[in-house]
Amino acid sequence: MLAAERTSVNVAVIGHSFMGKIHTQAWRTAPRFFDLGVEPQLSVVCGRDMKATESFAAEHGFGRAESDWRAVIDDPEIDIIDICAPGHLHATIAIAALNAGKHVLCEKPLANSLDEATQMAAAAAAARVSGVRSMVGYSYRRTPALAYAHQLIDEGRIGTIRHIRAEYLQDWIVDEDFPLVWRLERDKAGSGALGDIGAHIIDLAQYISGHRIAGLSALTETFVKSRPLPGSSSGLHATGGDGRGDVTVDDSAIVIARTDQGALATFEATRFAAGRKNAMRIEINGSRGSLAFDFEQLNELWFHDHTAPAAEAGFRRILVTEPEHPYAGAWWPAGHGLGYDHTFVHEIADFVRDIAAGRDPKPSFDDGLQVQRILDAVERSAASNAGWVTVQAEQ
């Protein structure tokens, strides 16, 4: 918890691969473009391989490297734990950190199972009483175009929502010889495309629309059942090593759903859409208008105003780079687009501002748990050959 007089906060980043690196860049950049109230210090980075961690610490200007995350949590100097480790470690680290009074930012999905997520939300609730803050890293909410989509719907510009159509398409494992990286192993990743990218569109669809998924029917598939064991990997790229192993997660998931407010929704998450690199797409159709977005063109939001005269109506391409748009005013002039990493800067900025202001940040662990309930429902439906599963409403 942050004392009122504090002007800086000490941050520990757990994990330093793809997510750890982009979080670090965000921690470094956020205070330069946003007024945070306090100045984050990159105090510790933590990783299993001490040599690699030390090298990362040096490259990125951390105060020190650690290989034991427990030591980090025990360090009284640390205020914030930023969990960028694989999903199977989320629950243990987050709960320990919250219990130790550290503010926690945890990458998504919140956990690898509904049980873990439930425990985490409980720990967050307990810690909240003492002013300890927690947040789950559904960073896409803070892409300016998607934050603006949320705002337009909130202002009633779309009217009654009829359809939500979301897909997250990647292609990095189309090649059958792409190796068995940790993201393809259930014990580490929890699930495959579902939890990795499907979780994003489920969170986003609900966040933007204000609807909650009430029930669903789903199929999942693992197209390539075994793969070469990995040699080295970084980000989503990897090279093969010796031997083979079983793929224990889904390659793809497709879902049809009803929302609590009467809309129909479809979701698809796949790593087998050849040619689609990071096509996180969402379209929402309502009685007064529609919105469409594709992350491959992340600075654009398409808006159809159905109240305009028919002759001049059409989807308009809004470049979400005006000072009036969420977050955009902190950056460059109109039309000078932002990238993937800026979204994380926004996330860190909001997280720190909320901590400094004594507010609970969003999305909360409860929000993360609610997504987890849907991921769980998807898996249960898929296991029963697309049987209908009602999603339990929050209490």
Q: Which of residues 161-190 bind a copy of itself (CB under 8 A)?
A: 162-163, 165, 167, 169-172, 174, 176
Contacts (CB under 8 A) with a copy of itself, residues 327-346: 331-342
Q: Which of 50, 239, 387, 392 binds a copy of itself (CB under 8 A)?
A: 387
Q: What is the distance between the alpha carbons of residues 110 and 339, in angstroms, rounded to a whole number?
A: 24
Q: By CB under 8 A, is residue 119 in contact with a copy of itself?
A: no
- 1 versus 319: smaller Cβ distance to a copy of itself: 319
Nearest-approach distance from CB 343 to a copy of itself, in angstroms:
10
Q: Positive or negative CA dihedral for 147, 344, 192, 99? A: negative
H/E/C letters for each residue in 25-85? HHHHHHHHHCCCCCEEEEEEEECCCHHHHHHHHHHHCCCEEECCHHHHHHCCCCCEEEECC
| Piece of 24-32, 65-73, 82-90, 95-103 that binds a copy of itself (CB under 8 A) | 24-32
DSSP E strand boundaries for the chain? 8-14, 39-46, 64-66, 80-83, 103-107, 134-137, 161-169, 213-221, 226-234, 237-246, 252-259, 264-270, 279-286, 289-294, 300-305, 315-319, 389-390
- 103 versus 304: smaller Cβ distance to a copy of itself: 304
- 91 versus 152: smaller Cβ distance to a copy of itself: 152
- Rounded to the nearest 10 degrees, what angle do helices 114-128 and 365-383 cross at? 170
Contacts (CB under 8 A) with a copy of itself, residues 245-284: 251-252, 254-258, 262, 264-266, 268, 270, 272-279, 283
Q: Which of 315, 353, 360, 380 binds a copy of itself (CB under 8 A)?
A: 315
Q: Tell me 358's DSSP state.
A: T
Tokens of 19: 């997510």
What 3-state DSSP class applies to 284? strand
Site string for a copy of itself, 186-225 (x = CB under 8 A): -----------------------------x-xxx-x-x--
Question: Left if phi > 0, otherwise alpha if psi is -120 to 50, otherwise beta: which for 384?
Answer: alpha
- 93 versus 318: smaller Cβ distance to a copy of itself: 318
How many residues in the shown chain lie near a copy of itself by CB under 8 A? 102
- 19 versus 369: smaller Cβ distance to a copy of itself: 19
Q: What is the dihedral of CA 123, 125, 130, 131, to 10 degrees?
A: 110
> What distance, in Å, lies between the first and last C-alpha atoms of the chain?
27
203 near 145, Cβ under 8 Å?
A: no
Tokens of 391: 């999603």
Contacts (CB under 8 A) with a copy of itself, residues 26-55: 28-29, 31-33
- 341 versus 354: smaller Cβ distance to a copy of itself: 341
Nearest-approach distance from CB 252 to a copy of itself, in angstroms:
6
| Piece of 3-11, 78-86, 121-129, 379-387 that binds a copy of itself (CB under 8 A) | 379-387
Nearest-approach distance from CB 292 to a copy of itself, in angstroms:
9
Contacts (CB under 8 A) with a copy of itself, residues 277-296: 277-279, 283, 285-290, 295-296
